[in-house]
Structure 1
Amino acid sequence: MTARHLFKTAIKALKSHKSRSFLTILGIVIGITAIILVMSIGQGAQDLILSQIQGLGSKTIVVIPGREPTGPSDVAQVFSDSLKERDLNLISRKENVPNADKIVPVVFGGESIAYGNETYRATVLGGAADVFEIFDIYPAEGVAFTESDVRSRQAYAVIGSKVKDELFGGDEAIGQRIKIKEKNFRVIGILPQKGQVSFFNFDEIVLVPYTSAQDSLFGIKYFHRLIISADTEENIPRVVEDLQATLRNSHNITDIEKDDFFVQTQADLAMRIGTVTSILTLLLVSVAAISLVVGGIGIMNIMLVAVTERTREIGLRKALGAANRDILRQF
């Protein structure tokens, strides 16, 4: 029995059971497609998240208040008031952190922004004047607020492109006053379309001096984050060590296990997110692989049924001199 004859016999058998053959092949196709799609989506999501994180700059270091979470039950520890103005003053001294290039205190929260009869919910981000350089985004229209504006607690706002469109439409926004928590802020600048950078969508953001945000909007005397830019990538480990030493001294901490803050570099964050997304992708691939296994079991069942249905044919072929090898090749 030649290979050509076996192929013709197989095609004939498939055609005689079209529905069964179609469903069997469909199960395998769905399984393989699901695995490919899940892997592609997982890798794409990981690349997107990492690119957004890296948009903050490879030399950026973030100090976060609270104990570093080790699991879901520790997440609340992140929301702490341990970073104060005194800490900012200490790490701003060159003798304490000599390799720090820029230091930006940050406070943030979601608030409703109002202008006339229009309202839009956006992220209000209070920062120092260097916040524009740290995030590498500058007003496309108008100006940014200055360090003098921060010190004098000016009620100035630089708004994202979507905030401008939602509140003002095609009207002029520069010089107009918007309301945040019933407090008036004058729009002095409009950001270009930027999208997501790190954990902030700069199209849906309102940037204000952090002093104004602390006093007028959030009523706090602490910072949610301290964002530091190292002078070079090679000096990042040294900056991290200096930050930890300075803050531990400021907080009278002698046991590192009792740190009420943690320092995170972009490399640390990228590694953690990469690990999480890889685990999620593996989990999803495992689930998708079940479809492939089910399809394989379906084929096994169909093959068993095919052999059972053709028992008489097999007996006849063997009676006519077919060897076991020939029967096996046929199926």
Structure 2
Amino acid sequence: MTNKDRIKIAYEGVVMHRSRSLLTILGIVIGIASIILILAIGASAQELVIREVQSFGPKNVFVLPGKQPKGFSGFSGAIMNDSLQEEDIVALRRKENVPDANVVMPYMESSVTATFGSQLFAGPALGGEGVIFRLFQLELTSGETFTDEDVAQRNSVVVIGSKVAEKLFEGEDPIGKHIKIKDKNYRVVGILKKKGSGAAAAYDDSFIMPYTTVQLYVMGVHFISHIMVEAKTETVINSMVKDIKTTMRESHDIKDISKDDFYTMTMEDAAAMLTTITDILTILLTTIAAISLVVGGVGIMNIMFVSVTERTHEIGLRKAVGATDQDILRQFLFEALILTMTGAVIGILLGWGGGVLLTVILGEIYAIDFRFFFPFEGALIGAVVAMIVGFIFGIFPAEQAARKSPMEALRSE
């Protein structure tokens, strides 16, 4: 008997009990579909993260206060660290210190609640200089940005996000009107163009003010939350970062780099950190999904044992007319492999369909430019793993069937 004949007989055995076969492969289908969907989401999320980070300006470098975080919890409280001062801005702006810097801007960040009449809105307060709008690629729909004079005089002026304008003013023109933040009135001078999706959508909820105003009236501090440095070109970022660190150490009189009370973060660093997060989540979720493959394999093994018991008489007849132990073993092993591979194919198709559906939902409902990337390598690995699962969990029932004595098998009915 050829393998082609054995596969044909195995296929007929699976089709004969199609309802039971479909239920049997459910675990495999769910496992493979989950793995495909998780890998696809992971790859697509990484691409989205990189695009979003790059949208903040690939030439921008942040100088942040405190020690370089060793874990994600290390970021907590950094915003209130007072290691960055005005003297650092002066030092970094000296061309002999950081010749590759195009712009050096102090940057403040806090959370505020603003009111206008009976309306209330909570969002981030971002402080900078007039160049903040160019650095963050922000456009205005009406009004104007604040000026260097506003920064120098700590004027109470604010540019608000599109959502802030919509919620607080409900159709009124906000320009020239005053909103109240922490019992102080701020004159609205401009409205940001709507971002709508992605990380940049946070600007729709924002209040952007002179950094000196945020320092004095919003946070009540004299230090700087962050320093933002724009490089002249992307090619000089690495050398500029070295100059920034040297200048900051001189400004803080630091001789031992282990004593650094600041650290730098490029857009590439930010993308790498976020990519690491998505990688970890993808691995964890894929591992969990893979467990369902094992559960599916156990289900197949149990059903195959039941099938062997039910078909004992058939096994006896086949052996009586010349089938060998190898013929019987391969027949039942092929049945297990057909079940798992069918489950793998259905799972791959469901995973692909789920990814496409998710892309449509995120795009149409949430306006997120989420680009679906089908994980071809993941699909191939999933199919191979399904085959291995079918072999491992199919071999034991197949061996039991092959060991049955023809005489005992024929007497079973």
TM over 0.5: yes
Q: What value does the CA root-mean-square deviation take over the aligned residues?
A: 2.1
Distance in 1 (alpha carbons) for counterparts of 2:271 and 2:121: 32
Moved over 3 A (4+): 1-19, 72-77, 195-200
Distance in 2 (alpha carbons) for counterparts of 1:98 and 1:151: 25
Partner of 1:33: 33
Question: 1:69-218 alignment to 2 at 5 Å?
Answer: 69-72=69-72, 74-76=74-76, 78-79=78-79, 80-195=81-196, 201-218=202-219
Partner of 1:55: 55
Matched, 1:65 2:35: no
Distance in 1 (alpha carbons) for counterparts of 2:88 and 2:187: 30
What do residues 222-262 of structure 1 show as CA deviations (whole Å, max 9, x unaligned)? 11111110011121122111111111111111000000000
Contact 2:195 2:201 in 1 (8 A): no
Distance in 1 (alpha carbons) for counterparts of 2:306 and 2:10: 15
Distance in 2 (alpha carbons) for counterparts of 1:111 and 1:119: 11
Specify whether residues 238 and 175 from structure 1 end up closer, same or farther in structure 2 by C-alpha distance, changes over 3 A only.
same
Q: Give percent identity, aligned residues only.
A: 46
TM-score of the pair, normalised by structure 2: 0.75
What do residues 56-77 of structure 1 show as CA deviations (whole Å, max 9, x unaligned)? 1111100000000113564446
Contact 1:163 1:203 in 2 (8 A): yes
Unpaired segments of 5 or more residues in structure 1? none
Question: 1:254-273 alignment to 2 at 5 Å?
Answer: 254-273=255-274
Unpaired segments of 5 or more residues in structure 2? 333-413
Of Structure 1 and Structure 2, the greater strand share is in 1
The Cα of 1:7 is off from its aligned counterpart by: 6.3
Partner of 2:284: 283
The Cα of 1:308 is off from its aligned counterpart by: 2.8
Which is further off, 11-20 or 138-147? 11-20
TM-score of the pair, normalised by structure 1: 0.93
What do residues 274-307 of structure 1 show as CA deviations (whole Å, max 9, x unaligned)? 2221122111111111112211221122222212
Contact 2:28 2:297 in 1 (8 A): yes
Contact 1:138 1:144 in 2 (8 A): no
Partner of 2:341: none
Contact 1:157 1:189 in 2 (8 A): yes
What do residues 125-183 of structure 1 show as CA deviations (whole Å, max 9, x unaligned)? 11111101110112121100111211111111100000010011211111110111111
Of Structure 1 and Structure 2, the greater helix share is in 2
Specify whether residues 197 and 234 from structure 1 end up closer, same or farther in structure 2 by C-alpha distance, changes over 3 A only.
farther
What do residues 27-67 of structure 1 show as CA deviations (whole Å, max 9, x unaligned)? 21111111111112222222222222111111110000000
Distance in 2 (alpha carbons) for counterparts of 1:72 and 1:202: 23
Specify whether residues 252 and 299 from structure 1 end up closer, same or farther in structure 2 by C-alpha distance, changes over 3 A only.
same
Partner of 1:224: 225
